[in-house]
A and B are shown apart, each in its own frame.
Chain A
Amino acid sequence: MLSLTGVSAGYGSFRALFDVSLAVPDGEAVGVIGPNGAGKTTLMRVISGMVPLRSGTMSFDGRSMEGLPAHRVVERGIAHVPENRRLFPRLTVEDNLRIGAFIPEARRRFMQELERIYALFPRLKDRREQLAGTLSGGEQQMCAIGRALMSRPKLLLLDEPSAGLAPLVVAQVFELVARIRAEGLTVLIVEQNVQQVLDVVDRAYLLEVGSIKLSGTSSELKGNDFIRKSYMGL
C-alpha cells in the first residue's frame, strides 16, 4: 500500500534520512523503532508531506506521492497523529474532531463519523464540550487518534503514541492501537517503547542515525540478540 524507495530527506544542510526503503502492506501494522534522534519523526513527516523528499520515490495505493503538500496527502487517505498529540488546546473535543473531518469527503459524513468515534471512545463523548487542553494525557491521545480517524483514512501514522504518558496509560494506548487494527486499518507506528510496540505490529524496521539497520517480522525482531540487548534491556 505504502512504499518508500531510497528516500533521503533533511532540514537545511542537515540530513536526517539516508536511503530509507520501507513498505507497509495493506491491512498490516508496521512499526519503526529506534533511539531518539534516529529520524523516526522525520520519516513520518516525509510521508505526510510536511518535509520534502531530497531523493528517492514514495507511492501510496500505486500512485506517486512526491511533492504532494500535506493537505493533499490527507485527501489521499493518510492521517498522521503527530508526536505529542498536538491537539488544539483551546478548542473543545468536538471541535478538534470536527477539524479532523475538514476534507470535503469527510465533511459530508461528519455526523456519522462522529458517532463512530464516540462509540469507539465513549470517554470523548462525555467530554465533548471540554477544552482539549484540559484532558488527561490518555484522553488527549484518544482525542488525537479520534481526530485522525475522522477523515476515514486507509493508513494511520502514529508518531510516539506513548510519549509522555504514565506506564498504566501507555498500556491503555497500546490496547487502543490493537482495537484500531481490529477495525481493519493499516497502521504505521513509530515508537521508542520497543517491547510493547512489537506486541501490536506484524513487522518492524529498526532505524538508527537515519538508516534502516534491520527489519523483520515482530517475532524475528523479538528474538534478535542485538534488539534484545540494545532496546529491551534483556
Chain B
Amino acid sequence: MDIYLLEAIVNGILLGGVLSLLALGLNLIFGVIDVVWIAYADIVMCGMYIVYWLYVGLGWPLLIACAIAIVALAAFGVLVHLLIIQPILGTAPINQLLATGGLLFFLQSFATLLFGTDFRNIGVRLPILELGEIYISYARLLAFTIALVGAVVLYLFLKRTFIGTAIRAIAQDRDIIGLMGVDQKRIYLVTSMIGGALAGLAACLLALQYDVHPFIGNTFGPLIFMICVLGGLGDMIGGFIAAFVISQIIAIGGYYSNTELSYVLAFTFFIVLMFVRPRGILSR
C-alpha cells in the first residue's frame, strides 16, 4: 500500500478520537435532557482560549491550565443548563435551537471582543514520531490516546455507578424516574456538567494541534452534529463509530484530492446515508 495513504488513514483514526469525544458529549446531553447544544463547538473554543490565556498569557504550567479549562467548562455546562435550558424545557423545541444558537453568536462575539480575530497558538511543539516511513504527529497521538481514555472513563461511569445508571435510565423513561428516588433536575445538572467537562478535555487536546480563533467552532461544529446524526442522535456507541467513519472519509478524501473536497465528500456521504438510514448507522 502507498505509504502516504497509510499515513492518511492513521491520521484519520487520530482525528476521529477527539471528534468522538465531542460526539459523546453532545449525544449524552441530547439523550438525557432532549436538547441540542448548538453552541457546543463554541464552548470548546472558549476552553481553548482558557488554555491559551493561562499558559501563554499568565505563563502557568500547561497541565494546570488544562485542568482549569476542564473544570471551568464543567461549571459553564451547569450554567448553560440553569440559565438557558431549564427555563425553556418543555416549551416548543425551536426555542432550544434559538437559545443555544444565540449563545453561539454571543460566545463568538465575546471571544472576538476579548482576543480579536487573530489566530493564536499555544506554541507547544511536540516531536514527530517516525514509524518506519510513516510520520505521525506526537500531539495527535497524545490527543487520540487521551480522548480514548476519556471515553472509557465515561463508559465505566455510566455503566458502574448509580448516577451513571440513572443517566442511562432517564433517557429511556423520563416520567417514572422520580419513582426510583431519582431527582431529575439533579441528573440534568450532572449531565450538563459532564458535557461541559468533555468539551473542556477536547479543548485541551485541540489546543495542542490547532490555532485558536473566535470562529474555530464553525470548522468542527457542523462535523460533530453530522457525526451525532449519522450515529443516531442520542446513540452514544453509534456516534462513537460515526466519528471514525467521518474522519476516515475526510482523511482519505484529502489524500486523493484536497481537504476542501474531502469535506464535500463527507457531507455527501452524510446526505446519502440520511436517505438510506435516517435513524443512524446502527439502527435496524
**Interface residues, chain A, CB within 8 Å of chain B?**
48-50, 69-71, 74-75, 79-80, 82, 86, 88-91, 95-96, 98-103, 106-107, 147, 151
Judge whether B182 is part of the interface by a CB distance below 8 angstroms. Answer: yes
CB distance from B140 to the nearest CB of A (A): 35
B161-209 interface with A by 8 A CB criterion: 162, 165-166, 168-169, 172-173, 175-176, 178-184
- Point out the residues of chain B lying under 8 angstroms from A75, CB to CB: 181
- Point out the residues of chain B lying under 8 angstroms from A99, CB to CB: 162, 165-166, 169, 180, 182
Q: Which residue on chain B has the smallest CB distance to residue A95?
A: B165
Offer 8 A-B interface pairs, CB within 8 angstroms, sorted by A.
A50-B179, A70-B179, A88-B168, A90-B172, A95-B165, A95-B169, A98-B162, A107-B162
The winner among B166, B169, B179, B184 for most chain A CB atoms within 10 A is B179
Q: A69-B183, A86-B173 are in contact. Are A91 and B165 (CB under 8 A)?
A: yes
Assembly CA distance A49 to B182 (angstroms): 13
Q: Assess the B172–A102 pair: CB atoms within 8 A.
A: no
The winner among B168, B172, B176 for most chain A CB atoms within 10 A is B176
Residues of B in contact (CB 8 Å), total: 16
Q: A69-B183, A71-B182, A71-B183 are in contact. Are A82 and B165 (CB under 8 A)?
A: no
Assembly CA distance A226 to B173 (angstroms): 39
- Point out the residues of chain A lying under 8 angstroms from B179, CB to CB: 48, 50, 70, 74, 79-80, 82
18 new A-B contacts, CB < 8 A, other than A70-B178, A98-B165, A102-B181, are: A48-B178, A50-B175, A50-B179, A69-B178, A70-B179, A71-B178, A74-B179, A88-B168, A88-B172, A90-B172, A91-B165, A91-B172, A95-B165, A102-B165, A102-B180, A102-B182, A103-B181, A107-B162
Q: Assess the B181–A88 pair: CB atoms within 8 A.
A: no
- Point out the residues of chain B lying under 8 angstroms from A80, CB to CB: 179
- Point out the residues of chain A lying under 8 angstroms from B181, CB to CB: 71, 74-75, 102-103, 106, 151
Q: Which residue on chain B has the smallest CB distance to residue A132?
A: B172
CB distance from A91 to the nearest CB of B (A): 6
Interface residue from B172, B178, B180 paired with A50 (Cβ < 8 Å):
B178
Assembly CA distance A96 to B176 (angstroms): 13
CB distance from A157 to the nearest CB of B (A): 9
> Across chains A and B, which 8 residue pairs bring their CB atoms closest together, nearest first?
A70-B178, A74-B181, A103-B181, A88-B169, A102-B181, A88-B172, A71-B183, A80-B179
- Point out the residues of chain A lying under 8 angstroms from B168, CB to CB: 88, 91, 95
Assembly CA distance A132 to B71 (angstroms): 36
- Point out the residues of chain A lying under 8 angstroms from B184, CB to CB: 71
Q: Which residue on chain B has the smallest CB distance to residue A103?
A: B181
- Point out the residues of chain A lying under 8 angstroms from B169, CB to CB: 88, 91, 95-96, 99
Assembly CA distance A102 to B153 (angstroms): 21
- Point out the residues of chain A lying under 8 angstroms from B175, CB to CB: 50, 86
Q: Which residue on chain B has the smallest CB distance to residue A150?
A: B180
- Point out the residues of chain A lying under 8 angstroms from B176, CB to CB: 82, 86
- Point out the residues of chain B lying under 8 angstroms from A91, CB to CB: 165, 168-169, 172
Assembly CA distance A89 to B171 (angstroms): 11
Assembly CA distance A88 to B181 (angstroms): 15
Q: Assess the B162–A101 pair: CB atoms within 8 A.
A: yes
- Point out the residues of chain A lying under 8 angstroms from B178, CB to CB: 48-50, 69-71, 74
- Point out the residues of chain A lying under 8 angstroms from B166, CB to CB: 99, 102
- Point out the residues of chain B lying under 8 angstroms from A151, CB to CB: 181
Q: A91-B165, A95-B165 are in contact. Are A100 and B180 (CB under 8 A)?
A: yes
Interface residue from B162, B173, B183 paired with A88 (Cβ < 8 Å):
B173
Assembly CA distance A98 to B178 (angstroms): 14
CB distance from A77 to the nearest CB of B (A): 11
CB distance from B187 to the nearest CB of A (A): 10
- Point out the residues of chain B lying under 8 angstroms from A82, CB to CB: 176, 179
Assembly CA distance A49 to B179 (angstroms): 9
CB distance from A53 to the nearest CB of B (A): 16
